[in-house]
Amino acid sequence: MSDLKLIDAHQHVFWHGRDDRGLLADMDEHNIEKAWLLGWEESIEEAGASYASVVDPRWHWRGSSTCVMPLHTTYEVCRTYPDRFILGYCPHPLDPKALPKFKAAIDILGAKVCGEWKFAIQLDDPRCIEIFRYAGSRGLPVIVHIDVPYLPPKGGRFVGHYAWKGGTIANLERALALCPETNFLGHAPGFWRELTGDADEYPESYLKPPLKPGGRLLTLFDKYPNIYGDLSAGSALRALKAGPEIARELLIRHSDRFVFARDYYGNDLREFLDSLQLPEDVWRRIGRENAERLIASVR
């Protein structure tokens, strides 16, 4: 593939052992010009204690936290490096001041992405729908993290309190239908498990080969023009690697609706996409152009 200057459409700072300078060094190493810098306004209790060792400890006191990745941190990094980062913010849907805070983040701080939405609330909850509709009215795409509440077999094993995020593909589809003017980027295990046709019976969070045909994700992309794919994290990479032929067909068929994104560091995703030998125009869209277009109409 060409030496395209990439946009990483899902990234965090003070995360997994790197501060802002460490993140920039990694971006420079892997030819990434800009990154969408996302917050995460969930308390550490809701997020799970396991995250405490990989997020910024400055906002954690006596086992609690204002939130996992606060807006003031991401904003200050974006303000320090305005040519490298694009601010993302999503308020907690249970906050009665969610919409005014979101509006202020756009108008005052220049947020251009609604994200990361990552909460133990169903995606089609009315309080979430209001945030999504407002994001759409202002031209901001929404990045949604989905972890299903139940895993097969035996009628569905509950994954645990606060461990699920968003619900299922049915909740996502209702949100897509209720917010036709909003562009959603699907992310995380609950989204990517739908690449296999046996998702309802699949007992693990992360897919392994081989994939079965008939995955509902393919149908979702055909039916809803406002669904996009965020290729970040192990969830996307494992799913794509589990069925390279299916992945290549999907990426080419809907090349205008996937974005290069990492959620971590390194070059694993780029190396895998290189192995698919995608056409050059497809790679340009995924590697940069789609991310630029998604935030081009922010107002």
- Run means of pLDDT, 10 residues per run, the chain, 299 residues: 89 96 98 97 74 71 68 96 98 94 97 97 98 98 98 89 95 98 98 97 94 94 98 97 95 98 97 97 98 97
Q: Longest C-alpha distance within the chain, in Å?
A: 52
Angstrom distance (rounded) from CA 137 to CA 269: 32
Query: Could you give the angle at the alpha carbon of 124 between the alpha carbons of 120 and 127, nearest 5°?
Result: 75
pLDDT at residue 68, as a whole number: 86
The reported pLDDT for the residue numbered 288 is 98
Distance, in Å, from the CA atom of 123 to the CA atom of 109, rounded to the nearest integer, reads: 26
pLDDT of residue 49: 59
Q: Could you tell me the sign of the dihedral formed by the alpha carbons of 206, 194, 47, 35, in that order? A: positive
Q: pLDDT value at position 3? A: 87
Provide the token pair at 124.
């089609």
Distance CA 77, CA 99 (A): 23
CATH number of 6-294: 3.20.20.140
Q: What's the confidence (pLDDT) of residue 50?
A: 65
Q: Give pLDDT, residue 1.
A: 54
CB atoms within 10 A of CB 261: 26
Reported as a single tens digit per residue, the pLDDT across 61-113 is: 444 557 889 999 999 999 999 999 999 999 999 999 999 999 999 999 999 99
Q: Report pLDDT for 154.
A: 80
